[in-house]
Structure 1
Amino acid sequence: MPESDPAATALLTVECQNGVVGEESALPELAKEARDSGTLERVAALAVAARAAGVQVLHAVAERRPDGLGASTNARLFRAAGRLPVRQLTGSRAVEVAAPITVTEGDLVVRRLHGLSPMAGTDLDALLRNLGVRTLVVTGVSSNIAIPNTVFDAVNLGYRVVVPADAIAGVPASCTAEVIRNSLALVAEITTTETLLARWTPAR
């Protein structure tokens, strides 16, 4: 990963919420992969190290109103989500950031009611620009849909994007490697959690 100013860098966790990757997930296969692969633990470690290094941490959460007002319905995924036993309802435990990832007072939480990407139709872009962020480190789920959408949107908006390959997850597990190799590597800097932790952890 090229040298960058921590003050101009942000770490973004995508959909790392109880209703997606928690023990009571609406998507148990994805939740199992995110946990069994160690992805959530690595995201948690990155968040701790980022804060210590002066890197802003943001959490992108997908949710919907109980009445569904304003929710997207133009894709099979959205319609299916409305029928799942666990719904990502505003104010519910399902939309809280999942352990072991922590949210501290200095973190920003960005919520969206529609679409596939936290960069589209939310405050995320404006917040990043107001913070002076030029480099965005993207973590979380899923490598099938939300992560690629976030990366592409961020690149289109002029950000330099970094993806720690072992801090994103999708289903099946092989999908993540293929998406990284054939798509994300063409537009983002691909790195590892270990590399970022070494950069963000002061030498003793």
Structure 2
Amino acid sequence: MSRPGYYSRRACDGKRRRGAAAKKIAARRWKPRYNAGARARAHWRPRGRKLRDGTNRGAAMQELPIDRYFLDRAKAKRGGRLNAYASLTPSRTALVVVDMQDYFVKDGMPSTIAEGQGIVANINRLAAATRAAGGLVVWIQTEAPADADDWANRREATSAERWESRRELLARDGEGFGIFPACAVESEDQLATKIRYSAFIPYPSQLDTLLRDRGMDTLLIAGVATSTCCESTARDASMWGYRTIMVSDANADQTEALHRHTLGKFLTTFGDVQTTGQLTEKLAMGAELAVPAQ
């Protein structure tokens, strides 16, 4: 028995009908709508109904793995458009690949992200597109501090056994420090290390210096984990003035829920979220526009 007031009386009566009318109602689904107070109200919409801007509501959900609450919030903030950044200037764009190291991706490691290996193909595809368009590819590697007392607050919150294991595996000569072999690192790519979750700490960081020296103003963030090092790096990049885009299908996390929520919050508050396909198209288009007319 449904809770009083959860469904409208008309809908409840409709569910009891038989024949063609019942089939028509059954073909529709219930979807939550979020108002300004973020309070969900149940109502139904036919599948595939288009929004005022002509886009398909269902298509947006399939394109980005983000709850509709965040999609609607982002559109409300941007006057109806979903994405913050409509175009890319390849020569000023850098793909920043975070922590695609054996420690986080290789099977059997203590901090392996289950879906980490599943995003390698998209990372390689986007890296190739970035290089071809004239952009920069940077691979970030986490290095455990050599000083056992460094980052003392984090050490205190971690078991002694796990802390020592992390220090050994993420040392420069450790088994987990290297970039996962399936990642296509090319000779023109740049490498940068970090000692905290964000690649922008301490500031000025190795990454920030590298990017500013090359005139980069737009960052595409990929890697693992979406809700930890990728998000920390992306948020700091946004705070330091970079146009920052998290790549939805080139990031991975321990759970789908963490992945979805992180992308949704970033989309509405800090920057943009786009797919590998969207970004490769924008890079190619930007490269074409940069070619002088004959």
Q: TM-score, normalised by structure 1?
A: 0.86
Instruction: Tell me: CA distance 1:174–1:79, structure 2 relative to 1, closer, same or farther (3 Å).
Output: same
CA RMSD of aligned residues (A): 2.3
Kindly state the Cα deviation for residue 71 of structure 1 after the two structures are TM-superposed.
Answer: 3.7
Higher relative contact order (CA 8 A, sep 6+): 1
The aligned runs of 1:129-168 (5 Å cut-off) are 129-168=212-251
2:15 counterpart residue number = none
SS at match of 2:141: strand
2-side partners of 1:59 and 1:5: how far apart? 20
Contact 1:72 1:78 in 2 (8 A): no
2:152 counterpart residue number = 73
Kindly state the Cα deviation for residue 125 of structure 1 after the two structures are TM-superposed.
Answer: 0.7
2-side partners of 1:17 and 1:135: how far apart? 24
Instruction: Tell me: CA distance 1:94–1:6, structure 2 relative to 1, closer, same or farther (3 Å).
Output: same
Q: Does 1:118 align with 2:202?
A: no
Instruction: Tell me: CA distance 1:34–1:10, structure 2 relative to 1, closer, same or farther (3 Å).
Output: same
Instruction: Tell me: CA distance 1:71–1:52, structure 2 relative to 1, closer, same or farther (3 Å).
Output: farther
* Over 6 Å off, 4+ runs: none
2-side partners of 1:127 and 1:133: how far apart? 9
Identical-residue share of aligned pairs (%): 24
Instruction: Tell me: CA distance 1:149–1:77, structure 2 relative to 1, closer, same or farther (3 Å).
Output: farther
Instruction: Tell me: CA distance 1:3–1:48, structure 2 relative to 1, closer, same or farther (3 Å).
Output: same
SS at match of 2:171: coil
Contact 1:33 1:171 in 2 (8 A): yes
Of the three residues 15, 19, 22, the one matched with 2:106 is 22
Instruction: Tell me: CA distance 1:133–1:77, structure 2 relative to 1, closer, same or farther (3 Å).
Output: farther
2-side partners of 1:176 and 1:12: how far apart? 18
2:163 counterpart residue number = 82
Of the three residues 124, 127, 137, the one matched with 2:210 is 127
1:173 counterpart residue number = 256
1-side partners of 2:255 and 2:173: how far apart? 30
Contact 2:88 2:282 in 1 (8 A): no
Instruction: Tell me: CA distance 1:51–1:78, structure 2 relative to 1, closer, same or farther (3 Å).
Output: farther
Q: TM-score, normalised by structure 2?
A: 0.61
2-side partners of 1:44 and 1:124: how far apart? 20
What letter is aligned with 1:116? Answer: Y
Deviation larger for 85-94 or 2-11: 85-94
1:182 counterpart residue number = 265
Structure index of larger Rg: 2
